[in-house]
Structure formats: C-alpha cells, structure tokens
Amino acid sequence: MEKNTILEIFSQNMKRLRQNARITQEELSFRSGLHKNYISDAERGKRNISLKAIEKLARGLDIDLTEFFLQSN
Amino acid sequence: MEKNTILEIFSQNMKRLRQNARITQEELSFRSGLHKNYISDAERGKRNISLKAIEKLARGLDIDLTEFFLQSN
C-alpha cells in the first residue's frame, strides 16, 4: 500500500479531530484565528501549512501536536 | 513553567534526534535535500518550517513524524 504523504496524513487527522470535537470549520476558524478558507484547504490537503499554523490549530482543537501526525498502519 | 512554543519543541527534538542518529547537519542536509543553513536555522528555532520540509527531515532522520512533536512534561 502506497505510504500517505504528510499532507494526506495531516489533513485526514485534522478533519477527524475537528469532527470528534463536534465543531464546524467556521468555529475552528474563530478559535484558531485562521481564515475559514485556510481551514477548508488544509482539511483537503491543499495547504503546505507551517509550524505556527499547526500550533494555532492544535490550540483551537485543544489537542496535543502529535495527534495531527498519527498514522493508522 | 511557561509552555514551549512549537518552534522550540520542534527545534529541540530535531537536534536531539539528529545527534541520536550520530549525523552532522551537513549529512542531514544531504539526506533530506534541504540546504545546510536551513537545517541550522530550523535547529535554532528560527524557521517556521512547513509540512513538506518536516516530511523530508523525517525521511532524512528515518523517524516517525510524531517524534518531532513529543514534549517532556
């Protein structure tokens, strides 16, 4: 099975974690201070996002940073 | 104790993991395809690096992505 890229890993985890938290992209945008379109792009793996944005998203979702990078083998 | 920023967490882990692998910044630069100055800046927390660069560094160090984001509480 082809190994997922980091963009795929991150975007899939980000969407799952947001849905687990039962919040909308709009709410995450408000909590993280990142634009709604940015959130939407990141969840579709279209953004090569940076460490500081990752930190804002982790704070917005109230999760540990490592959770964005977990892989289901 | 003031919580570390993501740049501090990442840079400290990156340096420790490279030293554990007993390779130089130059060798990591060669393995990852990232410039030596970029590696040096990232290890000093001076670079707000992106997901794709993180992926190259993880491959160069042969480690799991989550290892960059572990925090010693």
Q: Contact at 8 Å (CB) between B13 and B70?
A: yes
Given pLDDT bands bounded at 50, 70 and 90, which one contains residue B73? low
Evaluate whether residue B48 is within a structural domain: yes
Using a CB–CB cutoff of 8 Å, tell me whether A54 touches chain B: yes
For residue range B31-40, list pLDDT tens digits in order.
999 999 999 9
Name the residue range of residue B38's domain.
6-61
Query: How many angstroms from the chain centroid is the CA of residue A35?
Result: 13
Tell me, yes or no, whether B21 lies in a domain: yes
CB-CB contact of A56 with A32 (8 Å): yes
What is the ipTM, given to two decimal places? Answer: 0.91
Which CATH number belongs to the domain containing residue B43 in this structure?
Answer: 1.10.260.40
Residues in chain B: 73
Answer yes or no: are the C-beta atoms of B59 and B51 closer than 8 Å: no
* Position B70 in a domain: no
Q: Decide if A53 is inside a domain.
A: yes
Calculated CA dihedral for residues B42, B46, B52, B55, nearest 10 degrees: 30
Name the minimum distance, in Å, from the CA of B12 to any CA of chain A: 14
Chain segment B9-50, per-residue pLDDT in tens: 999 999 999 999 999 999 999 999 999 999 999 999 999 999
How many A×B Cβ pairs under 8 Å?
51
CA A59 to chain B, closest CA, distance in angstroms equals 11
User: Left, alpha or beta for A69 (phi > 0: left; psi -120 to 50: alpha)?
Assistant: alpha
- Kindly state whether residue B23 falls inside one of the protein's structural domains: yes
Q: How many domains are contained in chain A?
A: 1
Q: pLDDT tens-digit profile of A6-61? A: 999 999 999 999 999 999 999 999 999 999 999 999 999 999 999 999 999 999 99
Report if residue B67 sits inside a domain. no
B28 found inside a domain: yes
Q: Is residue A69 part of a domain?
A: no
